[in-house]
Amino acid sequence: MDIAYFPGCSLHAMAHEYDTSTRLVCQRLGINLYEVPDWNCCGATAAHSLDHHLSVGLSSRNLALVKDMNLKQMTTPCAGCFNRLKTASVELKQNDDLTAEIEKLAGISLTGAKEVEVAHTLQVIMEAVGMEGIKEQVIKPLNGMKLAAYSGCLITRPRAIAQFDDPEQPVALDHLLQALGAQPVHWSHKAECCGGGFAASDTDIVVDLGGQVLEAARQAGAEAIVAACPMCQTNLDTRQRAIEDERGIKYNLPIVYFTQLMGLAFSYSPRQMGLNRLLTSPTTLLRSRGLS
Amino acid sequence: MSADFYKPMRLNEIDSSLQEEIKKVCDINVELCMECGKCTGGCSNAHIFDYTPRKIVQLVKLGAEKTLLSMDALWTCVSCQLCVDRCPSQINIPHIMDYIREKAHRQGVKTRRINVELFHDLMLNSIRKTGRVAEAPLMLNFNLRSRQYMKDAVLGGRMFLKGKLSPFSPVVKDIDHVRRLFKKIADNREG
Amino acid sequence: MNDKAKTALVVGGGLAGMEAALKIGQAGYKVFLVEKETVLGGVLRQLYSSFPRWENPQDLLNNKVQQLGLYKEISILIGMTVKTARREKDAFIVDLQGLDEGDNRQIVVDAVVLATGFELFDASLYGEYGYGIYPNVMNSLEFEAKLKEWGSGQENSQPPQAVAFFKCVGSRDRSKGYPYCSKICCMYTAKQAGVVKDMFPAAKSYVFYMDYRAAGKEYEEFVRSVIETKHVRYVRGRPSKVIPENGRLLVRAEDTLMGVPIEVEVDMVVLAAAIVPRKETKMLAEYFGARTDQYGFLDHDTFNPAKVGDRVFFAGACGFAVETQGAQYQGAAAAAEVIALFNQGGE
């Protein structure tokens, strides 16, 4: 299938490995990603916090670009971008006044943008390929690796916008990991918040909320946490030491993107999947399963 | 608090225009609130809010706009959307927060959480200039502007070694359309 | 002109259905009492204690079963369900299906009382409470079974240190459940929370509530006594999330009277799931030409509150949530309608 690809700012910087692994894995699964040319930032928390028109407008321009590519679907691996793009898509469909105001403000037509459908890459993979299709590509199964599937907030919430999986007990990521031969653990924080965009501006919030996520994963016996969002991954990985200091517990939990694990199972090397870029090293875990 | 705080609130003097405004602009009806507190019980950050989500809905009903505009919670809500889907009436509280925060920002209402507002502003500046966010320069800029010169210095070093910090700022070619979207927020600031 | 040849059918052998059949039989009319389970009693059989007088519901059940056996007019057909039914003039021709494939039976009746009861809302729709995922999160009927197990006097493996009761799970929730109040949960929850304190005086018993609705004879006094003399702790707030932590369950809620988020560690969470109609009720209503409302409860006639269709009456929770005493009243009322109809000697 052909689909427009919106990497977002993080995947071009801190989460470069998420971008690389997503592209390789999708290629293997027969999902052809075409990066949206000249895309702009979705506006993230900053825009929706301060200006609704700006927030919807920034994302709408990206939707309009997809229409120009003659594609009807767009995917992004970033949960934050997904939420902003999908919110804009829903607003454009439902709110004609707002659409007209943004068209006037930006000087662009959004007629085509209304037709573009947005889905998170996890959803695209699960719906277009599914567990069976993933299993067919698995060469090196993850050998019962105990993983905490961490959907976080924005892939499934709010329900009316995301329209995917369950906002309280999401299962898509668990199913994907099962297909790779891993053993997803039952845990309580698969859809709780990591602290989102507050890592720089109010680090204490991330240390508090991220700490609760790490603790829940530890209690559930997870050997790593699997993320589907660059913000979740970055918060839990980069703030893990601060959390350990705060709580006096050594977590040492690698925070891995689901696409990195897919790539490993599809027999790409850990380095090709950028697993060396994680601050909390997964090497010991990978060795224990014969994957490194 | 003003001296009025010590007098009982006269309910028949309440100006309910804010409630009407939120109904009209955001399509959110706070009268659906059943006062159950489910929003607050599960809120990621209610324990550090000055006004919890349920109280925010109540403040809208009470027309307490001044309190809402200056409340700390505007700047500590993580927009995790937990309250929306748990609410028996699906009242979109984060959307109410966005609406009020936008208004507070427009009116220049001072917040104690200046760093959060500063970070948002710097991020928007980056988007206005280049169309995208360059994470590393943004962080550096933020640390300088918030006078936290040593903040995350060790972490920054670790991230640099992992190749996570790129000094480059990408630029959107067709930047004009992006910049025009900032007109409203810029006008608001001037006006 | 009395016509004792007339026959009634009561569908459902719970308390309401038993009461209806008993009164019709006592009046001298032939009545079939059809029950899908192999024993009579319905939900009443599952209960450990009753409100507002802390009686043993099994005494009530035994009394009714024993009385039913006294009247030759009453035929009890257990393990049978209504397969289909059609109307022929003033009669209904009803095909019954037993537990075995070949176990069929056709009966002809002149009036019908539907007393099919209720079921509990599927609490797993609240992912945040983890029903169906965490073993110690259960609905209120499963908890009655637990109380029976504890009350049986057998050595109890692990007495709970704390139990939390959540009211309005599915009720008063437009987004996931039903907008209506299920009416009886406030009372049975007070009862269950009180029993916990009786059985395990050292245990904590918390009831999370939005309101407590105790409109009934001796009801307010009952709830107050649970709070004041049994020391059940009522917390005003609808819980938001259950988190397994350190082998126990952490409940997150707001104390809305204080306006602060709170957490409490418990060993068991009991969900007062909404009272919803059985799916079969709507189907049976169609067979017999009875009205149902938007939810699938039987919908009564304005002037005859026990009547839901021509020659069709209802009793019990298939009309709407109702407590034990109310189910008996409704059973008697439906029987009165049937008897009055039969006494007219046909219309």
Return per-residue pLDDT of chain A as tens, 292 residues. 999 999 999 999 999 999 999 999 999 999 999 999 999 999 999 999 999 999 999 999 999 999 999 999 999 999 999 999 999 999 999 999 999 999 999 999 999 999 999 999 999 999 999 999 999 999 999 999 999 999 999 999 999 999 999 999 999 999 999 999 999 999 999 999 999 999 889 999 999 999 999 999 999 999 999 999 999 999 999 999 999 999 999 999 999 999 999 999 999 999 999 999 999 999 999 999 999 8
Asked whether residue B170 is domain-assigned, the answer is yes
* pLDDT at C345 (0 to 100): 66
Q: Which residues of C169-206 are buried (b: 16+ CB within 10 A; e: fewer)?
A: bbbbbeebbbebbbbbbbbbbbbbbbbbbebbeebbbb
**Closest by CA position to C144, among listed C49, C70, C68:** C49
Instruction: State the Cα–Cα distance between residues A148 and A218, nearest whole angstrom.
Output: 9
Asked whether residue C1 is domain-assigned, the answer is no
Q: ω into residue B53 within 30 of 0, thus cis?
A: no
Instruction: State the Cα–Cα distance between residues C337 and C319, nearest whole angstrom.
Output: 16
- pLDDT band, residue B8 (cuts 50/70/90): confident
Q: Please, are residues A2 and A71 in contact by the beta-carbon 8 Å criterion?
A: yes
**C214 and C267: one domain?**
yes
Q: Does C326 touch chain B (CB under 8 A)?
A: no
- pLDDT band, residue B1 (cuts 50/70/90): very low
DSSP 8-state symbol, C135: T
**C91 and C139: one domain?**
no
**C12 and C113: one domain?**
yes
Asked whether residue B93 is domain-assigned, the answer is yes
Q: Which residues of chain B approach chain C closer than 8 Å at the C-beta?
A: 32, 34-43, 46-47, 52, 54-55, 82, 85-90
**B83 and B136: one domain?**
no
Asked whether residue C42 is domain-assigned, the answer is yes
Boundary of a domain, candidates C275, C304, C325: C275
Q: What is the pTM of this model?
A: 0.94
Question: Could you name the CATH architecture of A2-122?
Answer: Up-down Bundle (1.20)
**C95 and C130: one domain?**
no
Facing residue for B180 by CB, picked from A106, A154, A276: A106
**B32 and B119: one domain?**
no
* pLDDT at C195 (0 to 100): 98
3-class state of residue A162 by DSSP? helix
Instruction: State the Cα–Cα distance between residues A25 and A18, nearest whole angstrom.
Output: 10
**B85 and B23: one domain?**
yes
C25: part of which helix (H) or strand (E)? helix C15-26
Domain boundaries in chain A?
A: 2-122, 135-288
**B121 and B102: one domain?**
no
Asked whether residue B184 is domain-assigned, the answer is yes
CATH number of the domain within which B14 lies: 1.10.1060
C1 pLDDT more than 50: no
Q: Does C126 touch chain A (CB under 8 A)?
A: yes
Q: Using CB atoms and an 8 Å cut-off, which of residues 49-68 of chain B contact chain A?
A: none
Within A82-127, strands assigned E span: 117-120
**C34 and C53: one domain?**
yes
**C237 and C334: one domain?**
no
- Residues β-bridged to residue C107: C94
Q: Please, are residues B164 and B132 in contact by the beta-carbon 8 Å criterion?
A: no
Alpha helices (H) in A129-181, listed in sequence order: 130-137, 159-162, 172-179
Facing residue for C240 by CB, picked from B47, B55, B86: B86
Q: What is the DSSP string of A181-223?
A: T-EEPP-S-TTS---GGGTTTTHHHHHHHHHHHHHHHHHTT-S
Facing residue for B172 by CB, picked from A38, A105, A201: A38
Asked whether residue B131 is domain-assigned, the answer is yes
- What range defines the domain where residue C20 resides? 7-117+278-343
Q: Does C289 touch chain A (CB under 8 A)?
A: no
For chain B, the average pLDDT equals 91
**C61 and C108: one domain?**
yes
For chain C, the average pLDDT equals 96
Asked whether residue C245 is domain-assigned, the answer is yes
Q: Between chains, do B88 and C175 touch, taking CB under 8 Å as contact?
A: yes
Residues of chain B neighbouring A40 (CB-CB closer than 8 A):
127, 131-132, 172, 178
Boundary of a domain, candidates B106, B134, B165: B106
* pLDDT at A142 (0 to 100): 97
* pLDDT at B182 (0 to 100): 93
The label of the residue with tokens 């068209």 reads: A103
Instruction: State the Cα–Cα distance between residues C68 and C26, nearest whole angstrom.
Output: 9
Q: Please, are residues B76 and B113 in contact by the beta-carbon 8 Å criterion?
A: yes
**B71 and B118: one domain?**
no
DSSP 8-state symbol, B72: G
Q: Report residue A245 as tokens.
A: 């200091």
- What range defines the domain where residue B137 resides? 114-190
Boundary of a domain, candidates B43, B78, B106: B106
**B143 and B181: one domain?**
yes
C347 pLDDT more than 50: no
**C161 and C304: one domain?**
no
Boundary of a domain, candidates C244, C275, C306: C275
Q: What is the DSSP string of C234-267?
A: EEES---EEEEETTEEEEEEEETTTTEEEEEEES
Q: Between chains, do B36 and C261 touch, taking CB under 8 Å as contact?
A: no
Q: Does C105 touch chain B (CB under 8 A)?
A: no
- Min Cα separation A132/chain B (Å): 31
Q: Between chains, do B102 and A158 touch, taking CB under 8 Å as contact?
A: no
Most B CBs within 10 Å, among C125, C175, C176, to test the B interface: C175
Q: Looking at the 3D structure of chain C, how many domains does it have?
A: 2
Q: Between chains, do B131 and A160 touch, taking CB under 8 Å as contact?
A: no
Boundary of a domain, candidates C248, C275, C302: C275
**B98 and B137: one domain?**
no
**C247 and C215: one domain?**
yes
Residues of chain C neighbouring B35 (CB-CB closer than 8 A):
210, 256
Asked whether residue B3 is domain-assigned, the answer is no
**C227 and C92: one domain?**
no
- Residues C75-95: what's their mean pLDDT? 97
- Residues B9-15: what's their mean pLDDT? 85
Question: Could you name the CATH architecture of A135-288?
Answer: 3-Layer(aba) Sandwich (3.40)
Boundary of a domain, candidates B73, B88, B106: B106
Could you tell me which chain B residue has the CA closest to the CA of C127? Answer: B86
Q: Which chains touch B (3 or more CB pairs under 8 A)?
A: A, C
**B145 and B90: one domain?**
no
Asked whether residue C2 is domain-assigned, the answer is no
* pLDDT at C178 (0 to 100): 97
